[in-house]
Structure 1
Amino acid sequence: MTFKAACIGLTAAAALAAPVLAEYPERTIEMTIPAGAGGGTDTSARKLAILLEEKLGTSIAILNVGGGGGSVGASQFMQAKPDGYALFATWNSPLTTVPQVQNVAYSLDSFTPIASTSETAYTLCVKADFPATTGEEFLAELAANPGKYTYGNDGIGGTMQLAAERIFQTRQIEAVAIPFGGAGETLQNFLGGHVDIYGGSISTVLPYVESGEAKCPLVTSAADVPALPGASGLEALGMADKETLLWRAILGPKGLDPQIVSLLADTIEEAVNDPGYVEFLKTKGEVPNVVKGEALGARLQAEFDALAAVSKALGL
């Protein structure tokens, strides 16, 4: 190919690419949330959608598709056209945990990573009279009493169970996992005395910590969590590499135009850092965390691989 021909080709390609952003978005964007209305991911995504509408200059329609720990919504979304008018607002579990224990129709390659939005740790909490307060004391108590204590979690092979077992395996701890249908159900059974330990999201149990009915000696993040000043982060326990977080992200269908990905990622970052949204996240015990594009894809893959190893060790 001659230099002149190459230049003509590049000019033509640029001419074709330019209208992508010049015309986008020109109609309503549909945002699929793989969970029912009212949950943590739903409320976070709806709040974010309002900001995105303002910044993108278009409306965003919310579609809740719950079931299968998020797998039903993920399976449905992967059929969407990669035209920028279909977004997937999810938490990490449907992509990195559920495939470990369920046969699903999708893989990480079925989506285009755009940007993560926020994150928080899971926590392990006990009643006020439990004979341990610090993270080290809590793990020592469990290690000294194999099989004695039960901990509620978000289902067999759920992210909470895998997060807990990543920690427990390091200390040769044997605790009995009791699966429930989510953090709310886990909390009810914990408060009712049906399990010894609450395992789940911080926001769900926080009111009972503040009232003194419960205490949380441990979080699953490497760092300490300001919302739970009495809880030990894993770095302080020498287990920073066992960190497991609950985090949320926006993805697109496979094959989404890189220009649209870049525009959406930048817009999402701007919305997430909006002071009002930051304050909203704070009330949920979450913090902003924006990881874009290929870096988000790498984060998903790394977490998938780590949880696959734990799942295999548990025989799930």
Structure 2
Amino acid sequence: MFGTVKYNIARVALTVVMMGAGASWAQERYPNKTVEIVVPWTAGQATDIAARALANELSEKLGKTFFISNKAGAGGVVGSAYVARAKSDGYTLLAASTGSVIISPFLNDTSYGASDFVPAAMIAKSPSVLVTAADFPAKNINELIQLLKENPGKYTFASSGNGSATHLMAESFNLGNGIQAVHVPYKGSSTALTDVQSGRVTYMFDTVASIAGLLKSGKIRAYGISSKERSASIPDVPTIAEVTELKDFDIASWIGLMAPKGASPETLAVIEKAAQEYLQTPDAKARYQGMGLGINPISNSEFQKVVDREVALYSDLLKKLELSK
């Protein structure tokens, strides 16, 4: 009798332990429900398109729906703040970019900073191109630099707005070369590029996707890529680092998935692995290259290094330009 009771108690205890282990496994397995990816911009923008393509693949690979939720406003701040406040369980992710995560917190009174997010998967890198009108007299970038340096204050450069990525790329280029030129900010890159093409404004940095058609038709001249790697979309255009004295010049916007600070490494590793597997396929390369984006399937630890480097870069640059809040 006593032995039977001991046996039953032991069996119940073992069952409880096994049930607990099963519950723990069920809780830890990711994903086990729908995942929201917040795009802090309107539908159709580059970050939105890039995130949607990856969301479809994650849904197929991981067996749960990853859906896009557009929460636009205040230059990416509205959607980014929403994710920063979300639970750090990996079920709310941000389709992050340089502007919303790195630059905006330096320029505005946001409720978040870059340190409130952790990398989940780098998607793509979007370098910009230094361009002028097709008939501008400088035939190469070093001739352009010399002409600009010799005529301080005479020439102008356009951007898609004060504090935008294209503005800060140009300012970094100018500072590095000792160039004094007049900034002409626009409300978007399309109008700015039109005025550069016509010669109303001298030069600007703009994305590969924006300038590719004009470059092919001979309506503008391209001098250099802002990143250290050439663009597969326009491989004949050299990087600024390889043909000028700015050997460390490497500034490019990026698009990636980030989670609220505190998300578990195990959860992040699941997203990272699935994303990298897709980004290394011919389909992904063709799709993103078609948008003028470079595939960038780096690890999350390398992604964090990119973020840390850019926080330091833009913090220093914005202070020099007296644009910090």
- Tell me, yes or no, whether TM beats 0.5: yes
* Sequence identity percentage: 27
**Alignment: residue pair count:** 305
The aligned counterpart of 1:3 is none
Q: Is the 8 A contact 1:119 1:245 kept in 2?
A: yes
User: How far apart, in 1, do the equivalents of 2:300 and 2:239 lie?
Assistant: 32
The aligned counterpart of 1:78 is 84
| Offset from partner CA, 1:238-296 (integer Å, 9 cap, x none) | 31323101111100112112211111111111122221111011112222112333332
Q: TM-score, normalised by structure 1?
A: 0.89
Q: Is the 8 A contact 1:223 1:235 kept in 2?
A: no
Per-residue deviation, 1:167: 1.6
Per-residue deviation, 1:170: 1.6
Per-residue deviation, 1:46: 1.0
| Offset from partner CA, 1:111-139 (integer Å, 9 cap, x none) | 12112111131112111100112121121
The aligned counterpart of 2:10 is none
**169, 174, 183: which one aligns with 1:168:** 174
| Offset from partner CA, 1:226-247 (integer Å, 9 cap, x none) | 4331344323213132310111
Q: Is the 8 A contact 1:147 1:176 kept in 2?
A: yes
| Offset from partner CA, 1:200-234 (integer Å, 9 cap, x none) | 21101110000000111122112333433134432
**308, 316, 320: which one aligns with 1:313:** 320
Q: 1:136 to 1:200 in 2, by over 3 A?
A: same
Unaligned runs of 5+ in 1: 1-10
**101, 106, 110: which one aligns with 1:104:** 110
Per-residue deviation, 1:79: 1.5
User: How far apart, in 1, do the equivalents of 2:249 and 2:294 lie?
Assistant: 20
3-state SS of paired residue (1:173):
coil
Q: TM-score, normalised by structure 2?
A: 0.87
User: How far apart, in 2, do the equivalents of 1:163 and 1:238 lie?
Assistant: 16
Counterparts of residues 1-316 of structure 1 (less than 5 Å): 18-22=25-29, 24-191=30-197, 193-228=199-234, 229-316=236-323
Unaligned runs of 5+ in 2: 1-17
Per-residue deviation, 1:307: 1.2
Q: Is the 8 A contact 2:170 2:204 kept in 1?
A: no
3-state SS of paired residue (2:131):
strand
Larger radius of gyration: 2
User: How far apart, in 2, do the equivalents of 1:68 and 1:186 lie?
Assistant: 21
User: How far apart, in 2, do the equivalents of 1:239 and 1:20 lie?
Assistant: 51
